[in-house]
Structure 1
Amino acid sequence: MKTLFLDANAPDTAAIAAEIIRSGGLVAIPTETVYGLGANGLDENAVLKIFEAKGRPQDNPLILHVAQPGEMERFCHDIPESAYRLAEKFWPGPLTMVLPVKDIVPKRTTAGLDTVAVRCPDSDVTRRIIALAGVPIAAPSANISGKPSTTTAEHVRHDHDGRIDAIVDGGPCRVGVESTIVDLTEDRPRLLRPGGITPEQLIEVLGDLVVDKAVTAQIDKDAVVKAPGMKYRHYAPAEPVVIVSGSREKAAAYIHAHFTPGDRVLCFEEELALYADCAPLAYGREADVNTLSAGLFSALRILDDPGIHQVYARCPVGGGVAYAVQNRLKKAAAFHIVDAEAEA
């Protein structure tokens, strides 16, 4: 298969991509979060191609992307008032809502569940593609399943060149981590995955929020989940990742004491000098967590090298967007965390 590379700014790109979607093909689409691997979300055969291309477990549900907020009514029923408030505040944007699903959405898209995850992305070209295709686009992140997500078209090219129909190049993703997911089908709203819309912002609108166990700990591989990124080891390079928490000085002392040839250090820009002899790679500035969010997956992809023995990673603390960065790093590390303060 020859993969088309389409410039998001070219006048005919949206029409070409929409025709591929309508014809049952796969198109990598840019969003503000990560690049998605998209297909017609109402076509079971097209959706199956997503799972096959990614090597994705079929019990891992997909997110349905719509062109306009009001389109969620085509695919969802018994929509609570809170969903409309969230859509008014955050759509288009990096927020996904889990809602009761209508029969029009095939079970393959929802992983057999009676709910569906829906979002309206903040990407003009992607919303045009959806509108021209006339169908919602089911799209998980465009990486090979379990590997670090794709935040540039080049990342997608690396994983899927010759394996999918087209890649739409919209430049680097602004947010850099997948969308926040909130479940609105229970008595209380439940955070299933943190992202660019923070828990604090959700609480401002909803007044209440429960954090699912999958956000803070590894859950059982047999658990039934309502949204992507909850169950399996995700975002991970080939080698083991160990998060080292604690002060800069204590963390550096621990890492230097355990560092061996072939290891790497993933750290903040402010810490590079501390690890000058430990092959450090900075993924952003601790003082600006948005740079950490935007740079995390690019850094993890650089570190996805079988020649590396182990990665020691530094993780931001606190709420807001830092909470999402923590979640992705902990998933990459399979929640292997060392407290350098306790080890000192």
Structure 2
Amino acid sequence: MFETKIIEATDDGMKEAQNEAVACLRRGELVALPTETVYGLAADAFNAEAVAKIFAAKERPEFDPLIVHIASYTDLKTVAEVPEDIADTVKKLANEFWPGPLTIILPKTPAVPDLVTSGLPTVAVRQSGHPIFRGINQALGRPIAAPSANRFGRISPTSASAVMKELGGRIPLIVDAGACGEGVESTIIRIEPREGKKPLFYLHRAGPITKEQLQPFGRVEKVKPGEKLQSPGQLDSHYAPLTPFRLLKSPEDFVPEEGKSYGLLSYKGEEGGEYVRMYDWDSVVSLSPGSGKLAEAATRLFFAMREMDEMGFDEIIAEPVSETGLGVAIMDRLRRASAR
């Protein structure tokens, strides 16, 4: 057990936070770091013993691979061998979306421990857009393996306090830089070349980089259900609160049981909304209060789920959102949370 320390990465404390985090990573320890998506549980990706600590702290099965973060595009060659037939596409995507929340699956180099990739010949790579994560990544001088900083299958953390609730006592250090900006994990794609045509992008996990943003560079297709696990974020059940959680397809699907308490996770939370008015809810928590904006809903999603999980309901009911743009990623997380 650790006495978990939280260090604030404020303007005055930025250098101290970076130095302490880098020192910890160089010792082979774990550090929870902010990214633009969610807080990540970081280890030196080239240190297999340190990476093993990620799986232990999260209680994560070793068949579920990790994402590797690089400090700059020039570092890509240290973790991935980019095939010639997709090199131009990878470069275009990196120019457009890195640093940022896009993860690309590529053949791995021998330097990446098999534990990181769960024995797969490929590695999931991205360059974080969060200045603190990037600064620590650069100062360390090595790639960082970093899944979300929560226990396996639970709600991803978007604040340092949420990390503490999940992993307090299991890790030595949390770098606190406030709330994450995007709120849902990165988009994950695999690239397949097509002669004479734009490449095919297999979408392994929906995220902040939407299908619409990717389409100028290639054709986007979802990974088929049941396809062999090739990246993080493919498990059917994930991102789940401890409270039973159910996603509705329509208001008619909800039949309350007498004596049970119910909370509604609503998109807009409007009093006149059909999901809000169909039942006398014990509480209604809105993803986008009053504005109905998908970007706000994505940012608040895990925060709102965690808030409701702590309210003590017998069941949390979630209303669906439109599956356009960021709505695809939101619905992906809601479905996985309700799948257990």
Which residue in 2 is equivalent to 1:201?
Answer: 213
Cα deviation code 1:171-215 (max 9, x no counterpart): 111110000000125763211001000011111122x1221124x
Are the aligned partners of 1:237 and 1:305 in contact in 2 as well (CA < 8 Å)? no
**Secondary structure of the corresponding residue to residue 74 of structure 1:** helix
Name the CA shift for 1:60/1:185 in 2 (closer, same or farther; >3 Å). Answer: farther
CA distance in structure 2 between the partners assigned to 1:176 and 1:16 by the alignment: 26
**Secondary structure of the corresponding residue to residue 110 of structure 1:** coil
How far did 1:307 drift?
A: 4.1
Aligned sequence identity (%): 36
CA distance in structure 2 between the partners assigned to 1:228 and 1:153 by the alignment: 22
Structure 2: which amino acid aligns with 1:334?
Answer: A
TM-score, normalised to structure 1, is: 0.88
In the TM superposition, structure 1's runs of 4+ consecutive aligned residues that sit over 6 Å from their partners are none
Which residue in 2 is equivalent to 1:317?
Answer: 322
Which residue in 1 is equivalent to 2:94?
Answer: 87
Which residue in 1 is equivalent to 2:263?
Answer: 264
Which residue in 1 is equivalent to 2:332?
Answer: 327
Are the aligned partners of 1:3 and 1:162 in contact in 2 as well (CA < 8 Å)? yes
Query: Counterparts in 2 of 1:62-73, with a 5 A limit?
Result: 62-73=66-77
CA distance in structure 2 between the partners assigned to 1:205 and 1:16 by the alignment: 40
Are the aligned partners of 2:68 and 2:126 in contact in 1 as well (CA < 8 Å)? yes
Cα deviation code 1:42-100 (max 9, x no counterpart): 11110000000001010000000111122111111134221111000000101000000
Query: Counterparts in 2 of 1:1-344, with a 5 A limit?
Result: 1-9=2-10, 10=13, 11-79=15-83, 80=86, 81-184=88-191, 188-206=200-218, 208-214=219-225, 219=226, 224-246=228-250, 251=251, 255=254, 257-258=255-256, 260=258, 261-272=260-271, 274-275=276-277, 277-279=280-282, 280-285=284-289, 287-305=292-310, 307-334=312-339
How far did 1:134 drift?
A: 1.4
Q: Where does the alignment leave 5 or more consecutive residues of structure 1 unmatched?
A: 336-344
Q: Where does the alignment leave 5 or more consecutive residues of structure 2 unmatched?
A: 195-199
Q: CA RMSD in A?
A: 1.9
Are the aligned partners of 1:272 and 1:282 in contact in 2 as well (CA < 8 Å)? no
How far did 1:241 drift?
A: 1.9
CA distance in structure 1 between the partners assigned to 2:193 and 2:51 by the alignment: 27
CA distance in structure 1 between the partners assigned to 2:152 and 2:305 by the alignment: 14
**Secondary structure of the corresponding residue to residue 107 of structure 1:** coil
Cα deviation code 1:289-325 (max 9, x no counterpart): 1111011101111233594322211121131111100
How far did 1:38 drift?
A: 0.5
Residues matched between the structures, number: 321
